[in-house]
Structure 1
Amino acid sequence: MAKAAIKITKRSVDAAEPESARYELWDTDLKGFGLRVEPTGIKTFIARYRAGAGGRTAPKRFVTLGRYGALTPDDARRKAKEVLGAAARGEDPADAKAKERAAASLSELAEAFLASHVRKKRKAKTVENYENAINNYILPNLGRKKAKLVARLDLSRLHGDLSDKPAIANQIIAVASSMFSWGSRHSFVPEGFNPASKIERYDERRRERFLSTDEIERIGEALREAETIGLPWEPDPDKPQSRAKHSPKSENRRVKFGKETVAAIRLLLLTGARLREILHLRWDYVDSERGLLLLPDSKTGRKTIILNAPALLILEGLERVSDYVIPGDKPGKPRSDLKRPWAAVSTRSGLKGVRLHDLRHTHASFGAGSGMGLPIIGKLLGHTQSATTARYAHLDADPLRRASNKIGGAIAAALEGRPNGPAMPIEGKTKQLGESD
């Protein structure tokens, strides 16, 4: 219901009393600027115009400018001028606002990205990482925003809040960048829109741990103990006293590992394979005659792993009780992880902070230290990028040692007054070529 036109000011708005039905008051100075009064007493500034050419036959459009209180009459008048000016230029502000309200939220973009792209085209571990970044970090902080309104500052702040977890922080930005790139290609956000771009990543210190020969010997002793008499264990001090009270005596507190569990750990070290490549290994992937593991899929796609003689012996010593080389507790399923066995073995071996993945690094380090060359190491590990293998370059000591010996020998010869003859370091002293002992 409309009433006589008035000058919309603070006084006139305050004086407008609610009635049994909604009504509008229209401004005398700015045609199309009005105030809507609800029976509840809520007062809202509005703008009205005719869409299209603006003739009498054109449909009327209404745009809500904002509630009185949040907006002053003067603020509302300025917004009304913008809306009415846009309408006079042939635009349709109400339609634009409706499209803005209907624009995809970040939650909707994330859901579509995961369902239509990540889960269909990425491997299980990658899917897990993407879901963790989106569901545990990005959406809890920014999920209510429209996707196209997420700003670089929003993601930069989220990145900064995780400065104590640089790897996670960087992964979140990488996932966000991938999500917005996909959203841009599929019209969820404007083309080329990616607020995750140009955010400087934290410097991640790659964790490298290579086991020494002595440490490997200790692991071997622990594995032999685990599969024969079992490894000792201690009651959990956090459990109720009554339960700890009835635990076995110390000499009887041992846990014995199954043959397949011990074999899995040995195979990780002997082959340099990734954890899932061993745990998900099926017998039909094993080519014993040619000494190969023919994996139809891996982190880097189809892959062949060379089996050395010790690894072949381990496989030949296992019974084929399942389709999987390392069977799990559930029939027809592989073992899911080695967390508890490895924790017991590493504790028994006196190792701290050693991950199962470090067995793969150790396998590579022995090859690099033997002067086999990084291309060969990369092929054995299944690296598709030479840069991935480059982390082992500092272990390829033989060429450096030969160079150092040559330089040191020449300098030592000069120091001893024999500059024209090459010198060879032998047990701490130099020996001129051709000299007798």
Structure 2
Amino acid sequence: MRDKITKRSVDAIEPALRDTFLWDTEIPGFGCKVTPKGARIYVLQYGRSGRDHRVTIGRHGVEFTAEQARNEARRLRGLIASGGNPALERSRDRSGPTVAALGQRYIDEYARPHKKPSGLAQDRRNLDNHIIPLIGSLKVSEVERQDIARVMRDVAAGKTAKDEKTKLQGRRIVRGGEIVANRVQALLSKMFELAEDWKFRPPNSNPCRGAKRFAEHKIERYLSFDEFARLGKALAAAEEGRFVPDVQGAPSEPQKSRNDGCKKHPKPRSQNPHAVAAIRLLLLTGCRLGEILELQWSNVDLERRLLLLPDSKTGAKTVYLSEAALTVLARVERIEGNPHVFPGKRLSEPLRSIRKPWEHICKAAQLQNIRLHDLRHSFASISAANGLSLPIIGALLGHSQPNATARYAHLVASPLHQAVDAIGKQIAGAMNRLP
């Protein structure tokens, strides 16, 4: 039957044994379906490429009034006139991938071919630890800006934090925090950018666009000359077998008592010589930790005093070696069959971690809040104190962009202060001379 669809005409339809349709006399294809149970549902029917399509608008009195349904029908007719196919688009939305499936495709088709192993591993961790537990079951087409904001709040608040046992590593600790939330947001932004390219979402619909990130404050920790001296003593002791981590004044665990009631005193010992040498080379080159631990003898050119790294965070990189760095390399024992300068326990593998030796050495040297990466910052601070310009410091550190070196600009002012002090003394001296 046909009539103008209004609240009165829709309410007047009596349910039958089968679905009953009332078609509007003004908007082509706009109608109301009445089911045998009395449900009234607004629909729009249209043809496309020789086939009939029907798209559901919504339920009468629950989701839409008659007038609202008419306006939605007009909007859909406009989409159809411009080449759209609302029924097909909604079908794709219902059968579209979840965020978890999008994450796996992102790993397979984007991250693995285009990112470095460390970046790939970080993306996997953020997906497994944060994104999938929070919104992995949502359809990609359903995710909205408030979902992204909720993910960031939850990660920052530590709702995805956990501490669990694993078979391979023994223990997995996930903390979350504001910085991790920013990394998760960046990963989601790239995933939804690709979702648009893969036709899972319409263009310019990235829900991460405009998401407010948490403020990040770069940690700038440099070793003082006194700390350099204490670190040097601890490294020498670790090499010579005189290493005692629980020195006086340093934090230590309570020692168990002997049978006679006297406390045990820790015996001097040595640390892994390759770990100690790696720390020395970090200090003397300003390299990143991964660049040193992955270093192979084939990358070392002793004659020209260079490390020729085939890959780094910024691509291929040349590291210039000082005489002190050459001395460290000359003392490193080469392990037959292992190409790495700092070999691990297994044949042909590099040293995977020096975290524990570093913690012991920091305790012995009474160094507080010093990360291995801070040795790179300390290298830059000494470079600046010796009057080197920012471009030279950037070249030594292997920065590909000038703004990466700009964080050390305030350190370069040190020799300028020395220069202006010398000038000030001469001027003041000239002014104070007696006639």
* TM-score greater than 0.5 by the shorter chain: yes
TM-score bracket relative to the smaller structure: 0.7 to 0.9
From 44, 47, 52, the equivalent of 1:52 is: 47
From 383, 393, 404, the equivalent of 1:388 is: 404
Unpaired runs of at least 5, structure 1: 1-6, 17-22, 419-431, 433-437
- Residue by residue over 1:286-318, the C-alpha shift from the partner in whole angstroms, topping out at 9 and shown as x without a partner, is 111111111111111101111111111111112
1:401 aligns with 2:394: no
Counterpart position of 2:174: none
1:189 aligns with 2:205: no
Secondary structure in 1 matching 2:318: strand
In structure 2, how many angstroms separate the alpha carbons of the residues matched to 1:365 and 1:12? 84
Give the number of the structure with larger relative contact order, counting CA–CA contacts within 8 Å between residues 6 or more apart: 2
1:218 aligns with 2:218: no
Return closer, same or farther for 1:35/1:249 CA change in 2, 3 Å cut-off: farther
Counterpart residue type for residue 307 of structure 1: L
Conserved? CA contact 1:26–1:34, under 8 Å: yes
Counterpart position of 2:118: 125
1:170 aligns with 2:182: yes
Secondary structure in 2 matching 1:117: helix
Counterpart position of 1:4: none
Of 251-260 and 168-177, more deviation after overlay is shown by: 251-260
- RMSD across aligned C-alpha pairs, in angstroms? 3.9
Counterpart position of 2:364: 348
Give me the identity figure in percent. 32
1:274 aligns with 2:288: yes
Conserved? CA contact 1:292–1:306, under 8 Å: yes
1:143 aligns with 2:136: yes
In structure 2, how many angstroms separate the alpha carbons of the residues matched to 1:10 and 1:412? 105
Counterpart position of 1:307: 321
- Residue by residue over 1:228-287, the C-alpha shift from the partner in whole angstroms, topping out at 9 and shown as x without a partner, is 13434699679xx99x99xx9733555531221111111110111110111111111111
Counterpart residue type for residue 335 of structure 1: L
Return closer, same or farther for 1:27/1:52 CA change in 2, 3 Å cut-off: closer
Counterpart position of 1:3: none
Of 221-230 and 85-94, more deviation after overlay is shown by: 85-94
Counterpart position of 1:153: 146
- Residue by residue over 1:307-342, the C-alpha shift from the partner in whole angstroms, topping out at 9 and shown as x without a partner, is 111111111112211211111112211111111100
Counterpart position of 1:298: 312
From 281, 284, 294, the equivalent of 2:298 is: 284
In structure 1, how many angstroms separate the alpha carbons of the residues matched to 2:237 and 2:144? 57
From 106, 111, 115, the equivalent of 1:113 is: 106
Of 153-162 and 269-278, more deviation after overlay is shown by: 153-162
1:337 aligns with 2:330: no
Counterpart position of 1:260: 274
Secondary structure in 2 matching 1:305: strand
Return closer, same or farther for 1:358/1:26 CA change in 2, 3 Å cut-off: same
Equivalences, count: 389
Unpaired runs of at least 5, structure 2: 1-8, 25-29, 158-176
In structure 2, how many angstroms separate the alpha carbons of the residues matched to 1:254 and 1:268? 25
In structure 1, how many angstroms separate the alpha carbons of the residues matched to 2:77 and 2:404? 59
Of 283-292 and 346-355, more deviation after overlay is shown by: 283-292
From 24, 32, 50, the equivalent of 2:18 is: 24
In structure 2, how many angstroms separate the alpha carbons of the residues matched to 1:105 and 1:411? 74
Query: TM-score of the superposition, structure 1-length normalised?
Result: 0.75
Query: TM-score of the superposition, structure 2-length normalised?
Result: 0.75
Q: CA deviation at 1:358?
A: 0.6
- Residue by residue over 1:3-47, the C-alpha shift from the partner in whole angstroms, topping out at 9 and shown as x without a partner, is xxxx9769977xx9xxxxxx634267879644556xxxx986556
- Residue by residue over 1:107-161, the C-alpha shift from the partner in whole angstroms, topping out at 9 and shown as x without a partner, is 3322222211112111122122223333333333333333244333332343345
- Higher-Rg member (1/2): 1
In structure 2, how many angstroms separate the alpha carbons of the residues matched to 1:127 and 1:141? 20
Return closer, same or farther for 1:157/1:53 CA change in 2, 3 Å cut-off: closer
Conserved? CA contact 2:22–2:33, under 8 Å: no
Counterpart position of 1:229: 242
